[in-house]
Amino acid sequence: MTRYVLTLEDSAAFEPWREMARAALQRAVPPEALDWRIRGGETDLFGQITDDGAGLEALTALPVVKTVTLRASCIALLPDLLCHSDPGRFALAYRIAWRVQGNPHLLEVVTDADIARARIMVRQNREDCHKMASFLRFREEPVQQGEGQGERRRFLAWFEPQHHILERIAPFFSKRFTDMDWMILTPRGSIRWDGKELVCSPEPCEQPELDDGFGELWDTYYASTFNPARVRTKAMRREMPGRYWKNLPETRLIPQLVAGAEARVRTMAEQELQPAPAFHERLRAREQLPAEPMPDVAENLEDLAAQVRTCTACPLHCSATQAVVGEGPADARIMVVGEQPGDQEDLAGRPFVGPAGQLLHEALGEAGVDRGALYLTNAVKHFRFRLQGRRRIHQNPDAGHVAACRPWLEQEIALIRPKLIVSLGATALRALDGPGMAMSDVRGTSWTVGRGENAVRRLALAHPSWLLRLGEGAQAESERQRFVEGLTRLRDFPDQSGS
């Protein structure tokens, strides 16, 4: 088999790779016939690559034998994957693109070795972006002689990312710091913003001397906000490892602050209790915060429903007609969790009776699933809306509403003890799995949580209300069929689970 050597720059991401990959796919060149190299890598240094253009020239000389089409989900995955610094990312991306040609649903198979590895690399890229957004520090450059007072302020920052994320993270900084000129330097390139143009360069930079004269002021502020009662050294090391730690000015204070934390906590505990501010009670009354702690754990669904109907844990109960509790058999093997009640559910006091519920009912019928065998509930029990004339317009619940209702959802799961929990939409997914789980990553896939007798299968699907918002057309019909296909797993679940 003829092998073709394709060489890319280490900083190259999607576009350069896509041109080469498209040429290879159009000529039906299998992954094992391609040798993806990074210019300046070990093989290049030892002279094993003599002419990286020859491989591409020979490949493009082959006749085109087919038209290549990639699904939107694949196009969405590959740019994120190619931002990683792993030298094997180019080969992995091509292997996935090659395999998707014969298996359009490959990306939904989370147990596949290639897909699992790609998801891990994408997650690492996102974590790197999060660290850069959290731990980067700007220093102001001094005004040069002759510059007027009306000049825009200029700032400089240094960061050491693990991966090639600069183009991904650049829009975040330009939107957040749009009113000043700045430059971010890294070993993997730079980002520059002058108020009009955002420029990313792959040229590596050297760490500059950064001192804007405000170091002492920042140290004072950081030390005054340090909470000794919430010191978690393991979490600090995990969230802010050495490569970020060394470039943060406050890190030289942390050892002494941590060392004195225990003594400061004792001093705080020994202080005499002070009365709450005069406005404290007025704030509690305005926000309708609960005066009493959460009731005891319910022994059955009837007791739980009675407690939910009297819930005042968040302000939503003030405007909603009533709390909407779950509905279905107490021994249901499958629980379906939606977002929150809608307008009709709020009036009827039952889940999934409005337009989205009707769509769900129809889709369950097409999938051959008996709705009466399911336990249906919502992550949030009260309807959140805004008034538009006489109409109540749905509003997504926020994290505080989800957190306030989480004890109710946890009690429902404990009482029902389902073997499969289906989350409909992003809010239900976050309520069950936390904010770290992205709907775009797991939609249509299933996984297991827990072990042994406590093991529960999880399945993430779109919310029916989202399908309604798509209206009519080819996309709407395609997404609806995908939703029905996902629900067929409920019909076959007992046979597949074996438990």
Cβ neighbourhood burial of 366 (10 Å; 0-12, 13-18, 19+) = middle
Name which of 11, 14, 2, 17 is nearest 39 in CA terms. Answer: 11
pLDDT score at 102: 87
The per-residue DSSP string of 377-430 comes to EESS-S--EEEETTEEEE----HHHHHHHHHHHHHHHHHH--SEEEEESHHHHH
In the chain, count H helices and then E strands.
Answer: 21, 14
What integer pLDDT is reported at residue 52 of this predicted model?
Answer: 44
In the chain, where the domains are located? 4-131, 136-140+154-212, 217-264, 301-497
- Per-residue burial over 13-47, b if 16 or more Cβ lie within 10 Å, else e, is bbeebbebbebbbbbebebeebebbbeeeeeeeee
- DSSP label of 277: P
Query: Which residues are paired to 335 by β-bridges?
Result: 375, 421
Q: Which helix (H) or strand (E) holds 94?
A: helix 89-102
Phi-psi region of 434 (alpha: psi -120 to 50; beta: other; left: phi over 0): left
Pairwise CA distance, residues 141 & 153, whole Å: 8
Q: What is the pLDDT of residue 49?
A: 44
Please enumerate in sequence order all residues whose Cβ is within 8 A of that of 252, keeping only pairs 6 or more positions apart, or say none: none
The confidence score (pLDDT) of residue 272 equals 66
What is the structure's pLDDT at 375? 97
189 vs 11: CA distance, rounded Å: 9
Element (H, E) at 186: strand 181-186
Residue 50 dihedral angles phi and psi, to the nearest 5°: -95, -35
Q: Which of 62, 80, 101, 275 is nearest to 169 (CA)?
A: 80
Determine the topology of domain 301-497 in CATH: Uracil-DNA Glycosylase, subunit E (3.40.470)
Q: What is the DSSP letter of 366?
A: H
Structure tokens at 272: 């005499």
For the record, the structure tokens of 484 come out as: 């029905």
CA 58 to chain centre: 42
pLDDT given at position 227: 81
Q: What is the pLDDT along the chain (499 residues), one digit of tens a residue?
A: 788 999 998 887 788 999 999 999 999 999 999 999 988 654 444 444 444 445 888 888 899 998 887 778 888 899 999 999 999 999 999 999 999 988 888 999 989 999 999 999 999 999 999 989 988 888 888 766 555 555 678 899 999 999 999 999 999 999 989 888 999 999 999 999 998 899 999 899 998 887 777 778 888 888 888 888 777 777 777 766 666 667 777 777 888 888 888 888 888 777 766 776 666 666 666 555 454 455 567 889 999 999 999 998 899 998 899 999 999 999 999 999 999 999 999 999 999 999 999 999 999 999 999 999 999 999 999 999 998 888 899 999 999 999 999 999 999 999 999 999 999 999 999 999 887 778 888 999 999 988 878 889 999 999 999 999 998 888 999 999 999 999 999 988 864 433 3
DSSP notation for 261-297: HHHHHHHHHHSPP-PPPTTHHHHHHHHT--SSPPPPP
> In terms of Cα–Cα distance, which of 66, 72, 51, 46 is closest to 4?
51
- Cβ neighbors of 21 (< 8 A, separation 6 or more) are 93, 94, 97
Q: Are 181 and 155 in contact (CB under 8 A)?
A: yes
Structure tokens, 237:
């090391």
Q: Which two tokens stand for residue 228?
A: 């000794």
Strands 385-388 and 391-394: antiparallel
What is the pLDDT at residue 48? Answer: 46
Question: What's residue 72's pLDDT?
Answer: 82
If one counts every other C-beta atom within 10 angstroms of the C-beta of residue 180, the result is 14
